[in-house]
Structure formats: C-alpha cells, structure tokens
Amino acid sequence: MTNSQRVQAAGAKRRRLMSAAARTVHRQGVERTTIADIARAADVPVGNVYYYFKTKDDLVAAALDEHRQQLELITGELDDLPDPRERLKRLVEGWVAQRDMAVRHGCPTGTLAAELGKREESELADATGDLVRRLLAWVEAQFRELGQPEPDALAVTLVGAYQGMSLLANALRDPQVMTREGARLTAWLDSL
Amino acid sequence: MTNSQRVQAAGAKRRRLMSAAARTVHRQGVERTTIADIARAADVPVGNVYYYFKTKDDLVAAALDEHRQQLELITGELDDLPDPRERLKRLVEGWVAQRDMAVRHGCPTGTLAAELGKREESELADATGDLVRRLLAWVEAQFRELGQPEPDALAVTLVGAYQGMSLLANALRDPQVMTREGARLTAWLDSL
Amino acid sequence: MTNSQRVQAAGAKRRRLMSAAARTVHRQGVERTTIADIARAADVPVGNVYYYFKTKDDLVAAALDEHRQQLELITGELDDLPDPRERLKRLVEGWVAQRDMAVRHGCPTGTLAAELGKREESELADATGDLVRRLLAWVEAQFRELGQPEPDALAVTLVGAYQGMSLLANALRDPQVMTREGARLTAWLDSL
Amino acid sequence: MTNSQRVQAAGAKRRRLMSAAARTVHRQGVERTTIADIARAADVPVGNVYYYFKTKDDLVAAALDEHRQQLELITGELDDLPDPRERLKRLVEGWVAQRDMAVRHGCPTGTLAAELGKREESELADATGDLVRRLLAWVEAQFRELGQPEPDALAVTLVGAYQGMSLLANALRDPQVMTREGARLTAWLDSL
DNA sequence: TATGAATGAGGCTTCATTCAT
DNA sequence: AATGAATGAAGCCTCATTCAT
C-alpha cells in the first residue's frame, strides 16, 4: 500500500465513521446511540474511534457535518436548474421521495434539532441551528430570485412545513402525510 | 390522617409525579431525564417512585398522558366558542403565546414524538401517535364543521405547520418564527 | 434492625470506605488505586461506592480526612501530657514506632502530599496542604509553650525531618533510618 | 545524511526523550504522565518512542538515569572545591536556588521515590533507592573528609532535611520554607 | 528507523431497578 | 406506602502497546 493509498484509506475510515454516525444517530437518536453502535456500523474497533473523534459529541458533530454535506450536494445539484421555482419544487419532490425514511425516523436534521435543541449553551445545539439556517438561506435565495416579498418568511414557511410533515409522518407512521403535503406545497409554489 | 386523606395524598403524589415527568421530559428530553430528576422535581423520594410507576417507560407514558389532559383541557375550553374558525384561531393564538417555551424546548408533544418515533414496535411510540392523532382529530372536526373539503388534510397542514414552526423556533432560538408563522396561519384560517 | 441501627450501619459503611481509601491509597498511591480496590478493601459493591462518594477525588479527600482524624486523635492524646517537650518527644517516638509502615509505604500524609502536590489549582492539593499545616500548627504550639523563639521555624524543621526520614527509610527500605534519626531528634528536643 | 550523522541524530532523539521523560514526570508524576506527553515534549512521534524504550517503565528508568546524570554533574563540579564543608554548603545553596521548582513540583528524586517506593519488588523502586544512595554516599564522603564521626548518619540527616523541606515547600506552596531551612542547614554545617 | 494507525484491556461513572425494613 | 440503600449492567473514555509499512 502506498503512502497516498494509506492516507486515503485513513480518510476513508474517518468518512465511514461520519457516515455511520449520521445514519445511526438518525435511526436511533443521539442518546440511544452508543459509540459501539457507530463503531460496529462503520466496521471499526471501538477503541479506534477515538483516534478520529475525541468524544461522542465530536461524532455527533461529524454526523451534523455529514448532513450539511448532503444538503450542499442536493442544493448544489438543484442550482444547476435555471428556474428557482423549479428548484424548490424539486426540493419538495426529493422530500416526498424520501417519505419512507421520514416515516421510520423523521427528518435527519429535524429530529437532531429536536433532540439537541434541549441542550442549553451547547455547541451541538448551535451547530444544528447553523445547519437549519443553511437550508433556510438557500430556500430564501430561491424565493428572492422569484421576486417574492419577504423571502425569509416564505423560507420559514416552506422548511417549517417540511419539518412538520416529517414529524407527523413519523408519529403517524403514515407516508401519505408526505405525499399529500408535498402535493400541497408544490401547488403552493406554482401559485406564487 | 384519615384513610381518605391518605388516598388523596397518594393520588396527589402520583399526579405530582406525572406533572414532574411531563415538565422534566419536555425540558431535557426522555433519555437525558433520570428517574431521580423526576423524583426531585416532584419532591418524592426516589425509591417511592416505583410504587406509582413500575418502569421509566411508564413514567414517560404518564408524561404523555399529562399532555393529553392538557390537550383536552384546551380543546374543551375552545369547544365553548360557537365558531369553529374562532376556535382554530384561538388555538393558534395559544401556540404563539407559548412561544418562549417553544424557543427553549420545542413543542412538548412534538419533541416527544421526534424522540420516541425512533423506537420501533414501541408502546410509547404508539401512544405518542395517539396523542398526535387526538389533536389532529379535533382540528379536523373544526374544519369539517366549517364545511371544508378534505378536513383531514387541512388538519395535517395546520398541525404540521405548528410542529414545524416550533421546531424551527427552537433550532433558531428565535420567537419571531412563532409570531410570524402564527400570523400567517391566522390569516390563512380567515381566508378559508 | 431498628432505624438507628440502620443509620449506624450506613455510617459504618461510609467510615469503612474512608478507612479503606486511606489504607489503600497509602499502600498503592492515589493513581494506582482504583475505586474497585477500595470497594474490595471495604467489602462494598463497586456501584455502591458512588452512593457515598460522588467521585474518586471525593474518596481521596475522604482518605485525607481520615488522616486528619488520626492526627487529631494523636495530638489530642498527647495534649494530656503536661510537658510540651514530652509531647514532642512522644510524637517522635510514635513516628519511630511506625517505622515498618514508613519503610513500606512512606508517611501517609507525606506521600499523599508528594503525589497531590503536582496537581495545580487542585482542591486535593489544598486539602493536603491544610493537613500538613495542621500538624505544623500543633508542633509550633508546643515549641511556643516551651518558650522557643521562632517556633514556626522549629516546627518546619521537626516535621520536615520526619518527612525526610520517612522518605529515605522508604527509598532505602531501611528502618534504621527511622530509629537513628528518631534518636537524633529526641536528643535535639532535649537540648532545647 | 551520513551514517554517523544519523547515529548522532538517533542518539540525540534518545537523549531528548530521556530529558523530556525526566521533566514531564517531575512535573506531573509517573502515573499522570502518558507516553504521548513525553513524546510531545521531546517532539518525537509516539510510535517512535518504542524504538528507543520498550516500555513506559523503561522511560521512567531513563528519567531516573537523567537525574543520576544531573547529580553526577553537580557533585562533579563541587568536587573541584578544595573544602568538603564548602562543597556541602554549596550543595545546600543549590537546593535553595531551585526553591521555585521545589514549590511547584517538589524534589525530582524525592517525589519519584515517594511514588515508586510504593511498588513492591520493583526494579524502578530499586533504581530510585540507588539514586538516593548515590547522593547519600557523596554527602557521606564529605562528612568523612571533614573527620566527622558517623558520617553516614549525618548524610541521612542532611539529605533527609532536604527531602523534608522540599516536600513541605511543595505542600505549603511556600518558598520561604526552602530559604529558612537552607539557612539553618548552612549554619549547622558551619558549626560542625 | 520512522510513523500514523490500530487494538483492547481497564478505569470511572451513571442509572434503572430492586431490596429490606 | 415509604424510604434509604444496594446492585450490576452498561457507557464513555484513556492509554500502553503493537502493527504495517
């Protein structure tokens, strides 16, 4: 194995841990996820986890970062579309497409925010806030490009609707919540 | 102390524990709340808690029940209003009035749903679903009384908006989310 | 078992833990002593230790307190002697009598001071300092009663000699260090 | 890099590790010092430490050796003085000159002895004993040269006083202990 | 020799739950 | 019913040591 391969492998391991952390925390919640759970999911010996992340909170932060990357990937792709309205509609489509995930575990970011939001003076709570703000900012930019007044309020409405429908779909174990609300949001975007 | 007083005191203790469980779990989340936390908040010796609730999950169920009682209290009062539209608007008003709580700890039911929704095959998850359904049913009844088509979808929209705005207000630590979205919902209800 | 007996038993357990902590820490040093070591020595289940002491440092503080009690017991008895010179000579005698302990593990307070003195801004370091000061204060009082000038300096000399001879006896594994130095100190006290 | 340069560099690394071990262990104590601490202080990668020292105990032994070298350096220089009394007085002077170090971390050898002396059947304990004996032997030689009877006992007294005053200075965080006791020892040496 | 990475044993601590009165 | 105390199963984290190259 060459040096660069080793570095790559090491980077890969770190990334595996980040992804495993994101996945496991989404499925089980922060507090019900143990380091051992994440280690197992990443196929890494428990003791070795601490070589990459000093504390469990660091791993949770990494999970947040993973979601941030996901977000940027998605919005980055949507940015290729010429029409901001189309971008928003595709965003909603994506949410609906993931409805089964929402039914089982809720929105990854939203449930993380709900759990971490209870911590006071916490870096993790702040980081979750940042992540949410990032999504809001992107959505707001689309509304602004559409020439809408109060694009920030519209962004809160749209993202809030997504959070609400994910939470209800999860609580009711009903994917229809996602499809129906998704359709409503799409219609609403078209009506603007 | 007479026998009936003792029974009453015991009932009071149980109720104190329920209320303390609801309050503490709302503030800290299920997993970060210990039995000792609840016992302290209820001013009940730890060992005694188990006389009233066999397990921690039972206490969480009791917290859910406490929220259910709250819900019934509120909807019961609203039912006194003659106009269903007014009832819904007052409901939204109540949400906005509690914005500081939402900012600090989110919606009690919603955050509980987010945390418990991760559990599979869990009575607690089911119970949370029931609680959410109860609210939805009441809201749906109002929309039906208003002669709206698809009152169930409208209920999901309204309650989802509440869940979403609570989550965002909490994540962003911003009460304005509640006031602005509240105003929008009120206007929407007026427009129906 | 009556209530008072139970309380007594509980107190006894706490005291057993304190004594075990003092003994074990003296024998093994702070860092090489585990909570499990102390629990075993006190015949208490590990988990139960935390009912009495919140942290390991608390247990070490308790060990210090145990030594403080020992010190007060000893000086209290010596205070019954009418002559302060005699008191000091008996103190030295006591040190020499314990020479085998010194050879094996050094002076309990001194070795604790050596180990904890490395911690900066530490309550334990402060507590050790207090304990040392207590002994110094008592010795100083005797020298003052003897009409000696600079009784505080003499106290430092005497206690310092004790610490030094204990350390050397331990390092050299030689009880003679204690007897010879003890004799010298006795002669010195007589010469004042 | 030539072969000899490499060997020299390697030797330098080894020496750097020894010195770092001595310094770090003196500051933090044996058990609170990690291999990583020493590696960092020596600016050597952790994994590389084991090329020079097989175990942590070997590193501690190296620290002891470092102190032995220091001792020999000091006594070697003092041996240049013609008068043994002067040599001893200068030794004491050196101790007092280092009072701030004593206040912060105690005597390097003494605190090591206190910590390692608790180990039974330990090579490290033996090695510490040897180091102490070396100092005693040198001091004893001076007293012998001065024609004092029982030079070994006098050596124990002097070195013991040093250990005692270092320990007290450290425990009380008071450099005055060093200056006052140093002055007393100097006067004592003059009086012999 | 040099080095980042890996490994696993063990220590501290928490906490739901049970026990003895 | 009431209560302090007891119990033990985890969970998080550290660290000496080893490995692979």
Tens of pLDDT, residues C70-102: 999 999 999 999 999 999 999 999 999 999 999
Q: Taking CB atoms and an 8 Å cutoff, what residues of chain C touch D160?
A: 161, 164-165, 167-168, 177, 181
Q: Where are the domains of chain A?
A: 56-191
C46 pLDDT exceeds 90? yes
- What is the predicted pLDDT for the residue at B11? 83
Q: What is the pLDDT of residue D103?
A: 98
Q: What pLDDT does residue A8 have? A: 52
pLDDT of residue A71: 98
Rounded to whole angstroms, how far apart are CA atoms A88 and A182? 11
CA dist C163 to A137, C92, D117, D163, Å? 68, 12, 14, 7
Nearest Cα of chain D lies from the Cα of C63 at a distance, in angstroms, of: 17
Report CB contact under 8 Å: D132, C156: no
Tokens of D53: 């020292």
Nucleotide nearest to B13 (CA to C1'): F1
Do the beta carbons of residue C106 and residue C166 sit within 8 Å? Answer: yes
How is residue C109 written in tokens? 């307070």
pLDDT greater than 80 at residue C165? yes
Rounded to whole angstroms, the Cα distance separating A71 from A94 reads: 12
Per-residue pLDDT at C149 exceeds 90: yes
Tell me the CATH class for A56-191: mainly alpha
- State whether A167 and B160 contact (CB < 8 Å): yes
Interface of A with B (CB under 8 A): 27-32, 104-106, 110-111, 113-115, 117-118, 120, 128-129, 132-133, 136, 153, 156-157, 159-165, 167-168, 170-173, 177, 180-181, 184
For range D35-53, the mean pLDDT: 96
The CATH number assigned to the domain with range C3-191 reads 1.10.357.10
Pick the residue from chain B with its C-alpha nearest to A31. B31
User: Please, which chains are in contact with B (at least 3 CB pairs closer than 8 A)?
Assistant: A
> Average pLDDT in the D106-125 region?
97
CA distance A123 to chain B (A): 12
Tokens 């002396």 sit on residue: D117
Output the CA torsion sign for A131, A137, A140, A145.
negative
> Which residues have CB under 8 Å from A60's CB, separation 6+?
A21, A25, A30, A116, A124
Residues from D contacting C (CB-CB < 8 Å) are 27-32, 104-106, 110-111, 113-115, 117-118, 120, 128-129, 132-133, 136, 153, 156-157, 159-165, 167-168, 170-173, 177, 180-181, 184
pLDDT above 90 (res D11): no
What string of pLDDT tens digits covers the 192 residues of chain B? 455 555 556 688 999 999 999 999 999 999 999 999 999 999 999 999 999 999 999 999 999 999 999 999 999 999 999 999 999 999 999 999 999 999 999 999 999 999 999 999 999 999 999 999 999 999 999 999 999 999 999 999 999 999 999 999 999 999 999 999 999 999 999 999
Tell me, what's the pLDDT at A3? 45
Which sign, positive or negative, has the C-alpha torsion A6, A9, A10, A11? positive
- What does pLDDT average to over chain C? 95
- Can you give the pLDDT at residue D1? 46
CB contact set of B155 (below 8 Å; sequence gap of 6+): B136, B137, B139, B140, B143
> Among A110, A136, A181, whose Cβ lies nearest the Cβ of B167?
A110
For chain C, the distance separating the N- and C-terminal CA atoms, rounded to the nearest angstrom, is 57
User: In this model, does residue D55 exceed pLDDT 70?
Assistant: yes
Would you report the helix, strand and coil content of chain D in percent, each value rounded to 5? 80, 0, 20
> Is a pLDDT exceeding 60 seen at residue C8?
no
Contact between chains at D29 and C118 (C-beta distance less than 8 A)? yes
Query: Distance from residue B13 (CA) to nucleotide F2 (C1'), in Å?
Result: 12
Verify C-D touch: 3 or more CB pairs within 8 A: yes
CB contact under 8 A, B117 and A170: yes
Is B118 in contact with A27 (Cβ distance < 8 A)? Answer: yes
For residues C103 and C178, the answer to whether their CB atoms sit within 8 Å is yes
Question: Residue B99: its pLDDT value, please?
Answer: 98
DSSP letter string over D104-148? Answer: HH--HHHHHHHHHTTSSS-HHHHHHHHHHHHHHHHHHHHHHHTT-
Q: Nearest-5° angle of CA A63, CA A67, CA A69?
A: 115
Of C48, C27, C26, nearest to C35 (Cα)? C48
The alpha-helical segments, DSSP class H, found in chain B are: 3-28, 35-42, 46-52, 56-78, 84-97, 99-105, 108-116, 123-145, 151-172, 176-191
Q: How much is the pLDDT for A5?
A: 46
Q: How many CB pairs under 8 A join C and D?
A: 135
Phi, psi of D82 (to 5 degrees): -75, -30
- The answer to whether the Cβ–Cβ distance between D170 and C117 falls below 8 Å is yes
Read off the pLDDT band of D160 (50, 70, 90). Answer: very high
Q: Which two tokens stand for residue D56?
A: 């942590």
Using a pLDDT cut of 70, give the percent of chain C over it.
95
Mean local confidence (pLDDT), D4-12: 64
CB contact under 8 A, D29 and C31: yes
**Residues of chain C with a CB closer than 8 angstroms to some CB in chain D:** 27-32, 104-106, 110-111, 113-115, 117-118, 120, 128-129, 132-133, 136, 153, 156-157, 159-165, 167-168, 170-173, 177, 180-181, 184
CATH number of D57-191: 1.10.357.10
Question: What's residue B160's pLDDT?
Answer: 98
Angle at which helix D84-97 crosses helix D56-78, to 10 degrees, equals: 130
Reported confidence tier of residue C3, pLDDT bands at 50, 70, 90:
very low
Determine the average pLDDT of the residues in C140-150.
98
D153 and C184 within 8 Å at the Cβ level: the answer is yes
Confidence at residue D8, expressed as pLDDT on a 0 to 100 scale: 59
Q: Do chains D and B touch (3 or more CB pairs under 8 A)?
A: no
Instruction: List the structure tokens of A189.
Output: 């975007």
Contacts of D157 in chain C (CB under 8 A): 161, 181, 184
Name the residue among B55, B51, B54, B49 with its Cα closest to residue B20.
Answer: B49
pLDDT reported for residue B10: 64
What is the rounded CA–CA span in Å between residue D82 and residue D106?
A: 30
Q: What pLDDT is recorded for position A4?
A: 43
Spans of chain A below 70 pLDDT:
1-10
**Measured between beta carbons, which residues in chain A are less than 8 angstroms from residue B163?**
163-164, 167-168
Give the pLDDT confidence score for residue C120 in this predicted structure: 93
